Structure 1
Amino acid sequence: MTVEVERKFVCNAEIMGKLQDIEAECIGQRQFQDQYFDSPDFILTLKDFWLRCREGLWELKCPAVSGPTPDNETQTLCTRYREITNFPLIQSEVSRIISEHTAEGSESNSSQREQTDKVAENEDTEISSLDDTKWLTDLNLICFAEFKTERCSYMLEREGAVRVDLDQADFGYCVGEIEVLVPEGGDMNAALQRITSTAAELGLSCEKRVEGKMHVYLQKYRPDHYAKLLNAHIL
C-alpha cells in the first residue's frame, strides 16, 4: 500500500515551456473517465474516503495517518492519501466503514446493517470480479460524480521519481498535479521536499491550496454535497 503525496497548481500557458526547461520527460497522453461512489447520505466522503472506478479499475483513497505531521505551509499546499487498489480489500474496507456508521445510528437502520454484514461475511468465501457491481447495490452506493479527463504526464528524477500531470476535465477545469508516491511508513519528509523543490523549479507561488477537479465538480453540480463537506472540513 502506498501514500500519494500531491500538490495541485494552476495550469498556465508557460507551464509546458518550464517543464521542458527542467528536462521533464513526457511519458504520455491519455483520456479516462472517472466515476465516484458514496451512500445517499455521504458516509464515505464525510470521513474523507473516496471510492473511484477509473476505466473499470477500482481505487479507494483513504486519509493518511502515518508519518510526521507537515508544517502549516506544507499542510496547506499538499494532500496525503493512502491508496488501496486491491479489489477485495476495497470491498472489505468500504463495508467496514458503512457497517460502523450504521451501528452508531438508530435501530431503524437494522436493515442496512444486515446488508453490510452479509457483504462482509461473503468476502471470505467469494471474491467479486472487477465488473461485478452487486456489492454497490447491497451497500446502497450510488455514483455522485462522473467526468472525463485529458491528461498529459511528465516524470522527473529528483532523488526519487516525481510525476507531474496536466489535467483538462470535460466540465471546463484545468489543473496540474505534482505527485510523489511513498510506501506506507516511508520517508514523508523526503517526498514533501521533492514536491517543494519541483514547485520552485516550475516557478509556482506558495500561497494557498489549489482546488482539485472534484472540488470544482461538486461546487458546480452537487452544491448540497459540497456544503456538507465544507462544514465537515473535508474540503
Structure 2
Amino acid sequence: MSVSPSPFPEVTMNVEVERKFVCDPDIQKKLKDIGAVCIGQRQFQDQYFDTADFDLTLKDFWLRSREGCWELKCPVPKKTTNIQKDTKAEGLCSRYREITSLPQIKAELIKVMTERLAQANENTENDTGMAVCDPWEDWLKGMSLGCFAKYTTERCSFSLEEEGEEGAVCIDLDQADFGYCVGEIEILVPDGVDIQAALQRIERTVDKLGLSGDQRVQGKMDVFLQRYSPDHYTKLLAAHIL
C-alpha cells in the first residue's frame, strides 16, 4: 500500500542571530580593513502584514513579503545557557526562527491565529450561513491580514570569513527610502543549536570594527513605525516587543 507524502515536507529552519549598529562614514573602509569582502549591492521592497488588531506583531511574529518571496520570523527564547561572556551580547542581539516555505508559513499562522480564525468563521456563519473562505484559498484575506508597512532598502552586503570557523559572518549596510541607515551583523544557526558561538562571533566582529555603545540600536521597522504608525509602535513598546 502506498503512503501519501506529507503535505509539509520537513524543511531545515535556521535561527537568525543579529546585532544592529550605527553606520559611521568610514564603515566600508573598516570592513575592508578587517578582511570583509563586498559580495554585492541590491535594492528590494519589503511589505509586512498583520491584522487590524496586530495579532501577529504583538506576539513578535513578523510576516514579510520581499520581492514576492515570503518569510515568517518567529520568536525564540531570549535566554540561552552557558554564555561564557557577559550577557550584554544577548541583550544587544535579536534572534528569530525563520520560515521561508509558504505552506509552513500558512500552517504556523493558523496555529498562532487560531482564536481569530475561529471568531471570523463564527461571524461569517452568523452573517451569511456559510463558513469563511478556507485560509488556504486567498489566504491573506482569509486571515484578515493587510499590509501595515512598506519600504524600499538599498543594501550593500559584506562577508567575513574567520579562520577555524564554519560559515561566514554577514554584514549588511542598509539605507531605507525613508532616510534611515543601519548596519546589521548576522549569523544563521540551525534551529535547536546553541547560539553561544554565534553571539561570541558577533561580539568579536563588533570589537574588530571598533563599534562603540552598549545600547540597542533601532532597526528599520522600529523607526518606520515610530514615524508613520505611532499607535502601533506604542503598543509594541508596551508589550516589550520593541
Find the counterpart in structure 1 of residue 95 from structure 2. 80
> Residue 115 of structure 1 contacts residue 139 of structure 1 at CA under 8 Å; is this kept in 2?
no
Q: Give a deviation string over 1:138-179, Cα, whole Å, max 9, x none.
A: 111000000000000000112131000000000000000000
2:107 matched to 1:56? no
> Residue 147 of structure 1 contacts residue 169 of structure 1 at CA under 8 Å; is this kept in 2?
yes
Greater Cα offset, 58-67 or 22-31 = 58-67
2:202 matched to 1:198? no
> Residue 102 of structure 1 contacts residue 112 of structure 1 at CA under 8 Å; is this kept in 2?
no
> Residue 157 of structure 2 contacts residue 173 of structure 2 at CA under 8 Å; is this kept in 1?
yes
Distance in 2 between the 1:151 and 1:20 partners?
A: 16
Match for 1:149: what amino acid? T
> Residue 36 of structure 1 contacts residue 144 of structure 1 at CA under 8 Å; is this kept in 2?
yes
CA 1:100–1:21: 2 relative to 1, 3 Å: same
Distance in 1 between the 2:98 and 2:120 partners?
A: 33
CA 1:233–1:19: 2 relative to 1, 3 Å: same
Which aligned pairs between 1:77-116 and structure 2 lie closer than 5 A?
77-101=92-116, 110-111=122-123, 115=132
Partner of 1:199, secondary structure, is: helix
Identity across the alignment (%): 60
Unaligned runs of 5+ in 2: 1-12, 126-130
| Number of equivalences | 219
Work out which of the two has the higher radius of gyration on C-alpha atoms and give 1 or 2. Answer: 2
Distance in 2 between the 1:231 and 1:101 partners?
A: 21
Match of 1:144 among 120, 144, 148: 148
Find the counterpart in structure 2 of residue 209 from structure 1. 216
CA RMSD of aligned residues (A): 2.1
With structure 1 as the length reference, what TM-score do the two structures score? 0.87
Distance in 1 between the 2:170 and 2:124 partners?
A: 41
> Residue 63 of structure 1 contacts residue 80 of structure 1 at CA under 8 Å; is this kept in 2?
yes
With structure 2 as the length reference, what TM-score do the two structures score? 0.85
Find the counterpart in structure 1 of residue 31 from structure 2. 19
CA 1:205–1:68: 2 relative to 1, 3 Å: same
Q: Tell me how far 1:28 sits from its aligned partner.
A: 0.3
CA 1:21–1:77: 2 relative to 1, 3 Å: same
Q: Tell me how far 1:109 sits from its aligned partner.
A: 7.4
